[in-house]
Structure formats: structure tokens, C-alpha cells
Amino acid sequence: MGKNHSWNGTELTQTLCGETFKVDVAALPTDIINAAVRFALPTLLRNATAGLASEDPAKAIERVKARLAAWAEGKWSAKGEASAEPRTSILARAVAEALGKTAAEAAAIIETAVERALAAANLDQESEDDEEKAAVRKVGGDVRKVFREAAEVAPIYKRLKDEAAAKAASDKPKVSLASLIG
């Protein structure tokens, strides 16, 4: 399935369940536009983390800050472009190390595998349908799991994950129980 919506600068056209809907933004009340922004901006900022929030919180924060900076400059950051650096998830780094590729090349390999699996399952990443979104997440997760569990990748992934966890633990403030209860 292809993209199910388009935007011409003033009107959103979206096809859902085989029917096409048009939304003229100028005709919407301000409170509806504000509610849409309240919904969309947190989603866009969460998406900027590219799944790194638990694997590499510092990188996730960096990506969110980069997206905010881009917006402040009037630039839109497309998927995967939240910073000038390639996506460097632990999985992409592990695949890169196993294959002798760059992290960006490995991320592209993983993304291509996910896209192929979604196409084979006739799933649309842009779908607004809750069941299809869940199916897209499952297929993406299943493909990434295959990469994670590949014999060449698994030990590298575990080492990198352990290193990230150790770094996250060392970055946390050290608080003793005695200091909390006084």
C-alpha cells in the first residue's frame, strides 16, 4: 500500500477504508487546530528519538534537541534526519560491526528489510488504522528480532546493550537510601 494522504499547503486529503476525506485547515476552528498541534508535536518529538530512548537515552535527547533546533530554523526534519548523524541504534551498530559496514549502511539494510517485509504483508506504514499500525509495529519488531538474534550479531548486540546500560547507570545520580530517609 502506498501513502494514504496528501497535503497541498491548505488541505489534507486522506483515504481511509476506501473513502477519501478532505480537510480544509482554514475552515477548522482554532481550538481544533490547537488540539491537533498538541497531539502532533509530542508524537513528532517522540518519533525523533528513533527508538533510542531505552537503548541510548543521551542520543535520543540529542535527536530531539536537533529536531527542535531544525524547527526553530524553519527546517523540517524528515524521518531519520533528526540530526546530521546517521541513526546509530544499538542494533544498527551491532549489524554494522558484524558486516564491516558503517552504522548508516547497517541502518539502511535493516530499514530495507523492514520495508520489504511490510510490502510482502501488504501493510502501509502511514496507515491510521489501529489494527494496521499494530501489525506494522509487529512486523518491524519481528524483522529487527531476526537481525538481533542472528549468530553473527547476537554477541555484538549483547555487548553493546550491556555497555549502554552501564553508561546509563553511571550517568544516574548516586543516591544512598540513608540520604533519602535522613
pLDDT in tens, the chain (182 residues): 346 788 888 898 888 888 889 999 899 999 998 888 888 888 888 877 766 676 677 777 888 888 888 888 887 754 444 333 444 689 999 999 999 998 888 888 998 898 899 889 988 877 777 888 889 889 989 999 999 999 999 999 999 999 988 887 787 777 777 777 86
In a domain, 106, yes or no: yes
DSSP 3-state of 92: helix
- Is there a domain that residue 51 lies in? no
**Structural domains of the chain, count:** 1
Please report the sign of the dihedral spanned by the C-alpha atoms of residue 50, residue 51, residue 56, residue 60: positive
Q: Quick check: is 90 in a domain?
A: yes
Structural domain range at position 126: 86-173
Q: What is the pLDDT of residue 174?
A: 76
Assigned domain for 30 exists: no
Which pLDDT does position 158 carry in this prediction?
Answer: 96
Extract long-range pairs of 14-17: CB within 8 Å, 24+ residues apart: 14/128, 16/128, 16/129, 17/129
pLDDT 10s digits, 49-87? 766 676 677 777 888 888 888 888 887 754 444 333 444
> Within a domain: residue 99?
yes
Helix, strand, coil percentages, rounded to 5, for the chain = 60, 10, 30
Query: Is 17 inside a domain boundary?
Result: no
120 in a domain, yes or no? Answer: yes
Question: What is the helix (H) or strand (E) element at residue 56, kind and residue range?
Answer: none
Q: What is the pLDDT of residue 14?
A: 86
Give residue 51's pLDDT.
67
- pTM comes to 0.52
pLDDT at 68: 86
**pLDDT the model gives residue 107:** 85
- Residue 172 sits at the vertex; the CA angle it makes with 169 and 176, to the nearest 5 degrees, is 100
* Spatial CB neighbours of 57, under 8 Å, sequence gap ≥ 6: 168
Asked whether residue 77 is assigned to any structural domain, the reply reads: no
